Amino acid sequence: MKRALVIGGHGTLGKAIVAKLNELSVEVVTAGRSSGDYQVDMTSTDSIKALFEAVQSIDYVIVAAGQTHYAKLEELTPENNMISVQSKLLGQVNIVLIGQHYVNDKGSFTLVSGIIKDHPIAQGASSAMANGAIDAFAKAAAYELPRGIRLNSVSPNLFEESAEKYRDFFMGFNPVPVERVANTFIQSALGIETAQTFKVY
Amino acid sequence: MKRALVIGGHGTLGKAIVAKLNELSVEVVTAGRSSGDYQVDMTSTDSIKALFEAVQSIDYVIVAAGQTHYAKLEELTPENNMISVQSKLLGQVNIVLIGQHYVNDKGSFTLVSGIIKDHPIAQGASSAMANGAIDAFAKAAAYELPRGIRLNSVSPNLFEESAEKYRDFFMGFNPVPVERVANTFIQSALGIETAQTFKVY
pLDDT, tens digit (0-9, with 9 covering 90-100), for A60-118: 999 999 999 999 999 999 999 999 999 999 999 999 999 999 999 999 999 999 999 99
Asked if A180 and B108 count as a contact pair (C-beta separation under 8 A), the reply is no
Chain segment B45-80, per-residue pLDDT in tens:
999 999 999 998 999 999 999 999 999 999 999 999
Which residue stretches of chain A have pLDDT < 50?
A: none
Instruction: Look over chain A and give the mean of its residue pLDDT values, rounded to a whole number.
Output: 97
For residues A112 and A134, the answer to whether their CB atoms sit within 8 Å is yes
Identify all chain B residues contacting A133, using CB atoms and an 8 Å cutoff: 89, 129-130, 132-133, 136
Are the beta carbons of B58 and B84 closer than 8 angstroms?
no
- Terminal Cα-to-Cα distance of chain A (whole angstroms): 32
CA-CA distance, A108 to A134, in Å (whole number)?
15
> How far out from the chain centre does Cα B141 lie?
15
Q: What is the pLDDT of residue B173?
A: 97
| pLDDT at A19 (0 to 100) | 98
Closest CA of chain B from A44, distance in Å: 10
What per-residue confidence (pLDDT) applies to B12? 95
Spatial CA neighbour of A36 closest among A1, A65, A56: A65
Q: Closest Cα to residue B93, out of A91, A77, A144?
A: A77
Nearest to A81 among B97, B136, B144 (CB): B97
The residue of chain B nearest to residue A97, with distances taken between CA atoms, is B77
Residues 6+ apart with CB under 8 A from B60: B2, B3, B4, B5, B26, B107, B108, B110, B189, B190
- Mutation choice for B interface testing from A86, A90, A97, A131 by most B CBs within 10 A: A97
Report the C-alpha gap between B95 and B60 in whole angstroms. 12
pLDDT class of B158 with cuts at 50, 70, 90: very high
Angle, helices A45-55/A90-99, rounded to nearest 10 degrees: 40
Chain B: residue whose CA lies nearest to A135: B132
> What's the domain count of chain A?
1
Provide the 10 A C-beta neighbour count for residue B11. 18
Provide the residue range defining the domain that includes B187: 3-200
Q: What pLDDT was estimated at residue B186?
A: 98
Instruction: Report the pLDDT value the prediction gives residue B144, as an integer from 0 to 100.
Output: 98
**pLDDT for position B133:** 98
One-character DSSP codes across A182-193: HHHHHHHHHSS-
Report the DSSP beta bridge partners of residue B61: B5, B109
Partners of B6 in the beta sheet? Answer: B30, B62
Q: What is the CATH number of the domain that holds B94?
A: 3.40.50.720
Nearest chain B alpha carbon to A102? B74
Asked if B99 and B109 touch (Cβ cutoff 8 Å), the reply is: yes
C-alpha of A8 from chain center: 8
Of the partner residues B72, B74, B141, the one whose CB lies closest to the CB of residue A125: B141
Buried b (16+ CB within 10 A) or exposed e, A1-26: ebbbbbbbbbbebbbbbbebbeeeeb
Element (H, E) at B5: strand B3-7
Q: Tell me the chain B residues in contact with residue A101 when contact means C-beta distances shorter than 8 Å.
A: 74
* Cβ atoms of B32 and B91 closer than 8 Å: no
Q: What is the separation, in whole angstroms, between the first and last Cα of chain B? A: 32
Q: Are B81 and B69 in contact (CB under 8 A)?
A: yes
Confirm whether the ipTM is greater than 0.95. Answer: yes
| pLDDT at site B97 | 98
Q: Are strands B38-39 and B60-63 parallel, antiparallel or unpaired?
A: unpaired
Nearest Cα to Cα of residue A9 among A30, A26, A27, A28: A30
Mean pLDDT over each residue of chain B, to the nearest integer: 97
Model pLDDT for residues B96-145, shown as the tens digit of each residue: 999 999 999 999 999 999 999 999 999 999 999 999 999 999 999 999 99
Would you say the C-alpha torsion B94, B100, B102, B104 has a positive or negative sign? positive
Please report how the helices B125-142 and A125-142 are oriented relative to each other, as an axis angle in degrees rounded to 10. 150
